[in-house]
Structure 1
Amino acid sequence: MKKNTWLLHMMLSYIPVFLILFIVVFLVFFQNLIVLKKQDAVRANEIYAKQIMQSIDLSLKSIDHMIINEMLHGKLINEFFDESDYRNIYLNYQVSNRLQEIKHEFPSIDSINLVRFKDKVVFNGNITSFPDFADYPFISQENETAYFTKWTSVRRYKEFANQETKPVISLICKVPAYAEERGNIIVNVKISAIQELLMDLRGSEMTDIKLLDQNGGVIYGKNAPSQNGEVLASVTSEYTNWKIKTILASGIFTYASVFNYWTIFGFMMFLLAIAYLIYITKENYKPIKNIVSKIDDYSSQELKSIEKAASDEFNFIESVIDQFIGQYKDFEKQSEKNLYIRKRDFFNRVVFGDHPMNIDECTAEMRQLNIPNDLHERSVVILEIDKVGEIFETYSQRDQGLFRFILANVVSEIMTNHSVWSWTEWTGRYQLSAIIQYQDPTLNIVEICKIINAWVESNLKFTMTIGVGDSVDQITNISDSYRKALQSLKYKPALGNNNVIPYTDIQNYSLKNSSEYLKLINELIDLFRINSPNWEKVYDELFQKIKRDYLSKDEISILLNYFIYYLDLKISELPKEYYQVLTGDILPEMRSAINHCETTEEYRDEIIDLLNSYINHINPLRESKSNHKLMKRVKEYIEEQYANPNLSLDLLEEQFNVNAKYISLLFKQEFGGNFLDFLNNIRVEQAKIMLKSPNEPINEIGQRIGFNSPVTFRRTFKRLTGMTPSEYRNAL
């Protein structure tokens, strides 16, 4: 064996270069270490500044929320703004006590001014008219703003002309929140309280804090000794638009410049290493030169062209070797690529049936692609990932690709273990299709698919639903099995996720009794519109029927789109502000839910949440109306007296001393319908409950709920439910 003298010579010759570069790297390391320390200081100060700003925002938000709560729920504050007589001593005394309680609860508050536009007075414990109030110019200026609540920048405040001004920030709240403005609540917060809070939160003496308001006015830090130092962090509040800066005392990092001299020294050493490297490279080049010379002597014409294109001898040697390796790899890759493209194309033609082939063409292609053709049973299964948006899409693209690879391999392995040949391809972003072939016609493919589902559920963080197409005898008919498997997946909303759905189980399912669904939806919307407590019961009945009838996703989508249409139609009959709440966010989110929900339970839960959200939004609007309390009493009276056959608008006029036509108009505004429809809905709902008792005669039920005539009872019941009372009882 020959000694590696040339290798040893190379190693020893480069040791000095290694030592020089090590010194340079060592010096650069320490220089970078100092820079990193400074970066850490910047990050720490940024977190510190955010914490301080969060503390300030929390303090101001607590005052903001308290004032809003007082406006919405505080009886005294609202009575004050409703009052027009400033001489109401008792009310003024109560309000003054409440203001003192608030100031005691929030020591940072300097004063609270209640500005009432009705009689142009300001109350803060004392009653002062607008012209006599020293802060009136500020009140008149801020009255022009459109904000419901806002914080001002730092300003000078005094209550009386003979007082000294003091710095404050002010919270301006318009009263009320959602109606014609009656006045303002102005809360003045002491700047000194904020400064004390910052002094308590201040950390290291190496940094100072500077707090600026939205207009650049200094709240804290005007006299900080390090104002000329470097700003390490600057954070702006999204709530107040204030800015806080942490400033580093000058000179803290100046010692870092000392290492610059060592950096210069390292650079000189680096130049010395380059000079030495040039010298030693020339010495070590001689063996390489001999190799190139020998290649030159025996090179072909093609290698000579490489030599001309090569920039140096090493490149020439590398190019020659790379040429041979590259040619081999290109040939290998092209062969694999051509085979994959041909297989993929054949799969698509067979499954989708876009370009039909006869049996001879299929057989020849399968033979060339090494696909078995001696098995008698063939079908297609489609695996669809469940809850894509909630689970699968949360992973990165790389992880999603890995999951797809795993799923395809798991399906192939489990099928192989059960003597089933399979060919898998992703035919959709979330659908894995598999052509399967097997010999035994009694083989239970559904059970094998359940094993696949169990493996996915146990080992991955998501589940899959599998549609199984019918078995076909010829590969040319495989597209029929694919279409049936795809149709099976449309019943996932009714049958649930993580399921196996064979086409033989769903081919008899269809949308039955569509008129019953439409009547249920109409009844549900009518009850919902008048805010009847029975609407949720009908809502549950609707979705129980959808699940019981095994409706497909397309059929559920049709019904829910009609639901949205009819809801939009009926709510549009209510006052404009109610309809705007529905069309603003509720309807778009309902349409989105129809597109992305996968199971009946998901449809039910998301839509009822949106309906409850609508109710929560309009209840304050209803309560704010002047006639809401009257209509609430009328509604309660009707719900108690619905069985009275003499119940009418005239009776309501007599009972509540309000004109019957006016009550009818209020019914239309409050509930979007007339009095008689409202009464009949209540009576029919009570009749449904009574009809559950099989022994009670139908005519007596009609009389008990207020109908004088059995004919009127039956006609009204059928109009609202789509069935006669006897048909309804038989359907129970």
Structure 2
Amino acid sequence: MKNKWLYRQMISFLPVFFVFTVVISLLFYLSVGELTQRAISNANAALASYIMKMVDSNLQDVEGMIAKELITNPLLKYFGTASDSNFPDLYSKEIVNKLTEFTEASPFIDTAYLIRNKDGTVFTPGYKIPLDRFGDKDFITSVRQNGLPVHWTNLRSYKDTYQNDSSYNVISLVKPVPFDNSQGILVINIRVSTIAKFLNGLTKTEFSKVELMSQEGQSIYGQGVDNGKERLSTSYSAEEVSNYTQWKISVGTANEEMLDTAIVFTYVSIAAGIVLTILGMGWIVYVVRRNYAPIQSINDKINAYLLHKRMQHQGDRGKDELQFLETALDRIIDQSLLFEKQHEESMILRRQHQFRQLMNGDSQSDLEELKEEWQRQGLQLDNVSLFVSIFEIDKQQEFISKYSQRDQALLKYLLQNVIKEISAEAGICQWSEWLDPMQLGIIFQGADMESQEQVVRLCERNIEWLKHNVAFTVTIGIGSSCEQMDEIPQSYADAQESLKYKSSMGHDRIIGIWDIAGRKQGKILPYLNTVRTISQLYRLDDPSWHSQFEQLRMHLTTNLFTSDHIKNMLEYVIYHLNEEINQLSSDIREYWNKEVAPKLELMLSSNHSAQEILSRMYQGLTDFEQAIRALKERKNNHKLIRGLQTYIEQNYGNPDLSLMLLSETVQVNAKYLSLLFKEEFGEKFIDYVTKVRVEKAKSLLLETMDPVQDIAVKVGYTHSISFIRVFKKYVGQTPGDYRKNKA
């Protein structure tokens, strides 16, 4: 076998290394200068744009605030027409206060004053003075002669009246007062030094030069520039002109000589790179020969092995050393991985099978093997306390839809290991296996576990960890305490029984068998009539369905029910709602069947708690109620029908109440009125009135001790026999039996 690999490595590496290194070095060093210049120019352009936008934004904010005050403030509107004779002192103070508010409203505003054109009076935050004595009168005279500027003035010198020796540069905003009638002038001044201070906060850096010029070329601000005498270089500088003020800002780079030097240095580095490339080629030759020695040793051993096994490997003669090595390693690795995988899968399946047998009480035949596995898990056989717990993942449909199969496996692996770590910290041994995709069974054992409170505390730590670290929750069912392995199936059955009540008692919590052992089971049957009443009231758009639904919700969430009982009850609710809605008009039925009914069905399969399902169901019914009410409001006859409904509620005790009476009352044809009633409520007029009377009678039977005959008269029946017959038809029992049973 020849040393093909050694020469192949040298021939392969050297040309590639040389070409690649030289080309990359040339491309890098030739482009670094251009990229540097472009990056600096782009950075300067971005800085110039940002500074100009910030300056414009602050000036526009000031102008916008002033414009808003001029338009909306009645104080400024009155200002232009008044004089000292009819200008109360209180009003003057309000003007002064308003000017003070202007100067305090923005850190940019330096001074503000008002000039009344009628008599030339100037109002400032500190005093009132005639215009001819005002320090800034020259500017006011110029404004009156040349007209008011559109936005801000150019740089000008401002001199305060009482500071004769002090003046400073400002820009001014001049607005007529009132806004639509120039009877006065409002002047807002901003110091140039304030703008410069603001820009210092934005551009304070040793790497940039910034210059801000007015429209007429006056220098407003300069950082790193000698008062506008030193012009910025065009190699790296950027300019931005404001569409608002027409000011121009220029941003350049300090130490440009250093940048030019760096670019020159790149060309020098090219020559150094070529020299290093040649040295690198020599180093590759040396390293390849040196590192080939271990490969040669392995190849020699492979050759000896192949000579010994020549008859079995005739096809290997023409291969070089790497091919021989690859073939041998492939065979070893494949066989090792296959064996390891088979062994691991076998052990996991066997352990899970033993765990399930132990839980189900079927482990007698493999008792010795089970004891061995029990001890491998770190558990003891005698003088210990055992508790079986089941960790069940909540909201299983959401968990399956939210996470892929791979993510589910990772999260379940994480849950199992967290339980192991927390148990180890507490000094408690445990054995956990997944009983099904959503249930993790655990046997807790510890020498100090003398009470169920210790198990509860351990499970609470697991729930707390999950709450802060993952996006799903678990509910934990805990069985009764046991001391022997043959008692574990009963503890497991208790844990399963506890989890049956998670829908009623809530998710993300611990439910021990002791929590349900002494509690009285809730009853479903007494509330079946409530379900029917809710459905009927909902169809009739009677607001009292809300209180009835709340009564049902309180019953299901405060009493103890299994998940199956709650699901059956909610299915019964949905069934009756479907039956009632199907009596309404076709457009309402279509909306219900398309938008609401599928969502209600989905809620039942969501595996949420009863509290969550009922809350979502109530919200869905309320939304549908509002949607249908809006739909009905768009119909012309809805208001009429609502009026008739109110009339019936108020006059149900009138024995003469009939469709004809309503027709005469509202002056609408009786047949047409009957059609409207059927369309609105899904039933005939007489059926609706009868149900109203029966509901009122039920209330009177329970709330009063009046005789049945008197109650019949109160709800509109002159003959008690007719009342009793109707009541039994709708309620299923006579009024007397109803009162007796409810009492």
TM normalised by structure 1 equals 0.55
Q: Structure 1 counterpart of 2:369, which letter?
A: A
Partner of 1:351 in structure 2? 359
Using the alignment, how far apart are the partners of 2:390 and 2:702 within structure 1? 45
State the 1:347 CA deviation.
Answer: 1.8
> How many residue pairs end up in the alignment?
491
1:25 and 1:588 map into 2 onto residues whose CA distance is: 63
Cα 1:422–1:711 change in 2 (3 A) is: farther
Change (3 A) 1:336 1:665: closer
Equivalences for residues 198-209 of structure 1 within 5 A: none
Displacement, 1:625?
4.1
Give the alignment partner of residue 389 of structure 2, picking from 365, 381, 384. Answer: 381
Q: Report how far residue 627 of structure 1 moved.
A: 3.6
> 1:539 corresponds to which residue?
549
Give the secondary structure class of the aligned counterpart of 1:357. Answer: coil
Q: Residue 366 of structure 1: CA displacement?
A: 2.5
> CA shift at 1:519, angstroms?
0.8
Is the Cα contact below 8 Å between 1:363 and 1:373 reproduced in 2? no
Structure 1 residues 571 and 349, CA, compared in 2 at 3 Å: closer, same or farther? same
| Structure 1: distance between partners of 2:444 and 2:498 | 17
Determine the structure 1 residue equivalent to 2:370. Answer: 365
Kindly report which structure 2 residues correspond to 1:551-630, keeping only aligned pairs within 5 A, or say none.
551-630=561-640
**Where do 5+ consecutive residues of structure 1 fail to align?**
1-6, 42-267
Q: CA separation in 2, counterparts of 1:730 and 1:681? A: 20
SS at match of 2:533: helix
* Residue pairs, 1:42-81, within 5 angstroms: none
Structure 1 equivalent of residue 418 of structure 2: 410
Answering whether residue 537 of structure 2 is matched by residue 527 of structure 1, we say yes
Greater Cα shift, 381-390 or 492-501: 381-390
Contact persistence 1:510–1:551 (CA under 8 A): no
2:366 and 2:325 mapped to 1: Cα distance?
49
Contact 1:427 1:433 in 2 (8 A): yes
Find the counterpart in structure 2 of residue 340 from structure 1. 348
Cα distance in 1 between the residues matched to 2:657 and 2:288? 115
> What residue in structure 2 maps to residue 499 of structure 1?
509
**Quick check: 1:492–1:598 contact (8 Å CA) kept in 2?**
no
> Partners in 2 of 1:357 and 1:28 — Cα distance?
74
The 5 A counterparts of 1:36-47 are none
For 1:203-352, list aligned pairs within 5 A.
287=293, 291=297, 294-295=300-301, 298-299=304-305, 308=316, 311-317=319-325, 335-351=343-359
The yes-or-no answer on 1:424 pairing with 2:432 is yes
1:489 counterpart residue number: 499
Could you tell me which residue of structure 2 aligns to residue 673 of structure 1? 683
Q: Radius of gyration: which is bigger?
A: 2
Match of 1:361, as an amino acid? D
Alignment check: 8 A CA contact 2:530 2:552 kept:
yes
Q: Measured at CA, do residues 485 and 649 of structure 1 come closer, stay the same or move farther in structure 2, by a change above 3 Å?
A: same
Structure 1: distance between partners of 2:495 and 2:680: 50
Residue 596 of structure 1 and its aligned partner are, at CA, apart by 0.5
Shift of 1:543: 1.4
Secondary structure, in 3 states, of the residue corresponding to 1:299?
Answer: helix
Deviations 1:655-695 (A, max 9, x none): 22344454334322210123344334445555677678678
User: Are 2:423 and 2:430, in contact at CA under 8 Å, matched by a contact in 1?
Assistant: yes
Aligned-residue Cα RMSD (Å) equals 4.9
Question: Contact (CA 8 Å) 1:17, 1:273: kept in 2 or not?
Answer: no
Please list the CA deviations of residues 14-69 of structure 1 after superposition, one character each: whole Å capped at 9, or x if unmatched. 8997564333334677999999x9xxx9xxxxxxxxxxxxxxxxxxxxxxxxxxxx
1:442 offset after TM fit, Å?
3.8
Q: Which whole-Å CA distance do the structure 1 matches of 2:518 and 2:731 have between them?
A: 28
CA apart distance, 1:301: 5.9
The one-letter code matched in structure 1 to 2:411 is F
- 2:18–2:278 contact (8 Å) kept in structure 1: no
- C-alpha contact (below 8 Å) 1:380/1:469 kept by paired residues: yes
Q: 1:547 to 1:308 in 2, by over 3 A?
A: same
Show CA shifts across 1:317-341 (max 9, x none). Answer: 5665777777777666655444333
Matched residues in 2 for 1:452 and 1:274: separation? 58
1:569 aligned partner, one-letter code: E
Please give the alpha-carbon distance, in whole angstroms, between the structure 2 residues aligned to 1:14 and 1:381. 63
- Residues in 2 aligned to 1:428 and 1:32: alpha-carbon distance in whole angstroms: 62
Aligned letter for 1:295?
Answer: K
What's the TM-score once normalised by structure 2's chain length? 0.55
CA deviations 1:449-478 (Å, max 9, x no partner) are: 334323333444443211123445654564
What is the match of residue 52 of structure 1? none
Distance 1:287 1:535, change over 3 A: closer
Aligned residue for 1:574, secondary structure, equals coil
Identity %: 30
Separation in structure 2 between the aligned mates of residue 411 and residue 529 of structure 1, nearest angstrom: 51
| AA at the equivalent of 2:305 | S
Q: Tell me which moved more, 342-351 or 328-337.
A: 328-337
Q: Of 650, 654, 679, which residue of structure 1 is paired with 2:664?
A: 654
User: In the TM superposition, what is the alpha-carbon distance from 1:521 to its structure 2 partner?
Assistant: 1.1
What is the match of residue 444 of structure 2?
A: 436
| Residues 378-436 of structure 1: CA deviation (Å, up to 9, x unaligned) | 44311123345567864666654443233212323444455543211223333222133
Partner AA of 1:561 in structure 2: E
Alignment of 1:500-515 (within 5 A): 500-506=510-516, 513-515=523-525
Q: Does the Cα contact within 8 Å between 2:351 and 2:373 map onto a contact in 1?
A: no
* Distance across 1 between alignment mates of 2:603 and 2:318: 63
> Which structure exhibits the higher relative contact order, with contacts defined as CA atoms closer than 8 Å and separated by 6 or more residues?
2
Structure 2 Cα separation of the partners of residues 550 and 310 of structure 1 = 80
Pair 1:24 & 2:1 matched: no
Cα distance 1:725–1:484, how it changes in 2: closer, same or farther (>3 A)? farther
Distance (whole Å) between structure 1 residues aligned to residue 31 and residue 432 of structure 2: 53
Paired residues of 1:714 and 1:725 also in contact (CA < 8 A): no
Paired with 2:292 and 2:413, the residues of 1 have a C-alpha distance of 52
CA distance in 2 between counterparts of 1:482 and 1:32 reads 73
Task: Name which of 452, 460, 474 aligns with 1:450.
Answer: 460
Three-state SS of the structure 1 residue aligned to 2:433 is strand
Report SS of the residue matched to 1:466: strand
- Structure 1 residues 506-539: Cα deviation after superposition (integer angstroms, max 9, x where no partner): 3677875433222111111111111111111111
